[in-house]
Amino acid sequence: MAGHSKFKNIMHRKGAQDAKRSKLFSKLSREVTVAAKMGTPDPAMNPRLRLAVQAAKAQSVPKDVIERAIKKAQGDEDANYDEVRYEGYGPGGVAVLVEALTDNRNRTAGVVRAAFSKHGGALGESGSVAFMFDRVGEIEYGPTVGDAEKVMEAAIEAGAEDVESDDEGHVITCAFEDLAEVSTALTEQLGEPVNVSIVWRPQNTTPVDEEKAATLMKLIDVLEDDDDVQKVFANYEISDEVMEKLAAA
């Protein structure tokens, strides 16, 4: 696990530089629309919508974009999306989970299956790898919010379960069903987080060598680039040296 946290941060920075903001906003807006359509359009009365709005704000999605996404859910027949999860194995036997919001299951399934096949993986059946992960809530803050003790105290008071702090910031973990409540409490104490999300955290990691790591990253990049795919999770472990090479490539 030594290189796992650093890898996450390196790839996050690379992603922040490379990703098209319009695509990121589109995915976050789609989640807001789905959340609003599944319940009341009032975030105060709809926990999933409140979480979606918090996640969008954390990524600097403009207020008017969020408001349009909520309005789109009201009486818009074109705003119907299905939540779909795909599971499979990537290069080196790495377990991969793909979450999508789609208005065409056949199209999305075809894209995901082709991505796995082209990059040395194989799409599996539902439940084939999910048991290797725990579904949790994560709230991330940068280092300027305060030291580890301050963040730990705030997290305990907010009802979180764990905090990991290093020079690059703080990652606060809670039960996924408590994420909206915990993130709201933390925002009141520490300000707006840099990220709020429900994640699939691997119970154990799979070591991957440089060659397979490069192919695995291509698989994840292709999946994340698809408009229907919201998030991709995998249980890889890659050394710091290989991670830095990949980030620089």
pLDDT one-digit tens code per residue, 172-181: 999 999 998 9
Question: Which residues are 83's β-sheet partners?
Answer: 101
Q: Considering just the CA atoms, what is the radius of gyration of the chain in Å?
A: 18
pLDDT one-digit tens code per residue, 75-94: 665 668 889 999 999 999 99
Q: For residues 173-200, give the mean pLDDT.
A: 91
Q: Across the chain, which distance is largest between two alpha carbons, in Å?
A: 52
Buried b (16+ CB within 10 A) or exposed e, 51-86: bbbbbbbbbebeeeebeebbebbeeeeebebeebeb
Which tokens hold the place of 193?
């987080």
Predicted confidence at residue 212, as pLDDT, reads 92
In the chain the beta strands, taken as DSSP E runs, fall at 82-89, 95-102, 122-123, 133-141, 162-166, 169-175, 195-202, 206-207, 229-234, 236-237
Q: How confident is the model at residue 12 (pLDDT cuts 50, 70, 90)?
A: very low
Q: Which residues contact 50 (CB under 8 A, 6 or more apart)?
A: 43, 44, 180, 184
Distance CA 36, CA 238 (A): 38
For the chain, list the domains and their CATH numbers: 4-79 (1.10.10.200), 82-131+205-248 (3.30.70.980), 132-202 (3.30.70.980)
How would you class 12 by CB atoms within 10 Å of its CB: exposed for 0-12, middle for 13-18, buried for 19 or more? middle
Cα–Cα distance list, 244 to 117, 206, 211, 225 (Å):
26, 18, 14, 22
Q: How confident is the model at residue 249 (pLDDT cuts 50, 70, 90)?
A: low
> CB–CB of 132/94 below 8 Å?
no
The answer, as to whether pTM is greater than 0.95, is: no
- Cα torsion for 174, 177, 181, 187, to the nearest 10°? 50
